[in-house]
Structure 1
Amino acid sequence: MNTNAAPRLGIDFGRVIQGGALPSGAADTAFLGGDLAAALASPATAGAFAELPGLVELFGGRAWIISKCGDSVRRKTLAWLDHHDFYGRTGLPRGNVRFCRKRADKAGHCRELGITHMIDDRADVHRALLGIVPHRYLFGPQKAPAPDWAEHVAGWPEAAAAIRLSLQPPA
């Protein structure tokens, strides 16, 4: 398990940074179609731009986006990050974006990067991170209760608070 002296943050992209519910309450599926303009116009998840700058600073810039996708969505993701000035607004280094083809492959990136805290909306990703990432945050609405090996966080304010609490020295 990663127990680095310097904590490192991993963040999923889809439905965590981008693609939460639209104002209408419908799911944002702009990245699934072929329209780049629709993908670029899709909003950030509520609270992402409010909380990420402080978290990136708290982690000393040791934060990475780790996303599962194919080539088309990878291109749209990188374009979305630029279009929304993500790097400038959050402080996350431009080179700290990783992609893989399968959700379970995020474990390899987390191991290689020494990720200590991971935010992802999929329980199967967190299952793959058991024994690798000590602090796992299951983000957003879930269809089933969170397993006991992941901490459920409803959104960005809760995720940021839980992460800050995990970094407090023991009393």
Structure 2
Amino acid sequence: MRIGVDIGGVIIQQVDRLYPIETTAQGTERADEADQDTSLLEDFRRTPPMPGVFDALATVVSEVFGEHVHLVSKCGERVEQRSRLWLAHHDFYRRTGIAADNVHFCRTREAKAPIAAALGLTHFVDDRLEVLSYLDTVPNRFLFRPREHEVRSHRRHLASVHRVESWPELVTLIGERTSATG
């Protein structure tokens, strides 16, 4: 078993969700950053992690996936560099047990699919339903704290994912699914 985990919105909190500036009938969101996978504070190292992420990832490494935990993120070069620095600044690799060599970046959402296939991923966690819709080779897909407008846009793919709202919930679900299969 192998798992892929997105970074922005799954490991690192997105600033536009922490400090929304625009209110709509559907909730609060910053329209100018709605399409970005990672939206960091200006001093990006201070952007907070998702609650419970370090312990949760350490658990899935030690109890389920071992060395087969990969980070797969879509972003531009600038955000890639900042994401790598954020991970190092937060001592991510030591705290989770994930190898630094298991971090993969791509420039389009669709490009996550060939990465997932090449790595033989059996599980994937992303905050975008659109991304999960491309991952045909991944049988276990988890939609993590999605934005409602994005879910509405891609709702036809909801039946193929498990929606979760927190890291503890995700760890429990992964545990249940992996113990049921083997």
* TM-score of the two chains, using structure 2 as the length reference: 0.80
Match of 2:79 among 73, 79, 93: 73
Distance 1:154 1:33 in 2: 21
Who is 1:52 aligned against? 57
Match of 1:138 among 110, 134, 143: 143
Q: Does 1:19 align with 2:13?
A: yes
Deviations 1:58-95 (A, max 9, x none): 20120000000011000000000000000000000110
Who is 2:122 aligned against? 116
Distance 1:127 1:104 in 2: 9
Contact 2:15 2:41 in 1 (8 A): no
CA RMSD after TM alignment:
2.4
Who is 1:89 aligned against? 95
Q: Does 1:42 align with 2:36?
A: no
TM superposition shift of 1:111: 0.3
Match of 1:99 among 81, 100, 105: 105
Match of 2:159 among 138, 148, 163: 148
Contact 2:143 2:161 in 1 (8 A): yes
Contact 1:21 1:45 in 2 (8 A): no
Match of 2:168 among 121, 137, 157: 157
TM superposition shift of 1:32: 4.2
Instruction: Tell me which amino acid in the other structure corresponds to 1:151.
Output: H
Contact 2:15 2:39 in 1 (8 A): no
| Residues 148 and 95 of structure 1, relative CA distance in 2, 3 Å threshold | same
Identity value in percent:
35
Contact 2:67 2:99 in 1 (8 A): yes
Contact 2:15 2:40 in 1 (8 A): no
Who is 2:2 aligned against? 8
Contact 1:68 1:106 in 2 (8 A): yes
- Greater helix share, 1 or 2? 2
Contact 1:20 1:46 in 2 (8 A): no
Instruction: Tell me which amino acid in the other structure corresponds to 1:26.
Output: Y
TM superposition shift of 1:166: 1.1
Deviations 1:110-149 (A, max 9, x none): 000000000000001110002x000000001430466111
* TM-score of the two chains, using structure 1 as the length reference: 0.85
Q: How many residues align?
A: 160
Instruction: Tell me which amino acid in the other structure corresponds to 2:12.
Output: Q
Runs of 4+ with deviation above 2 angstroms? 24-29, 31-35
Distance 1:82 1:60 in 2: 20
TM superposition shift of 1:155: 1.2
Contact 2:15 2:47 in 1 (8 A): no
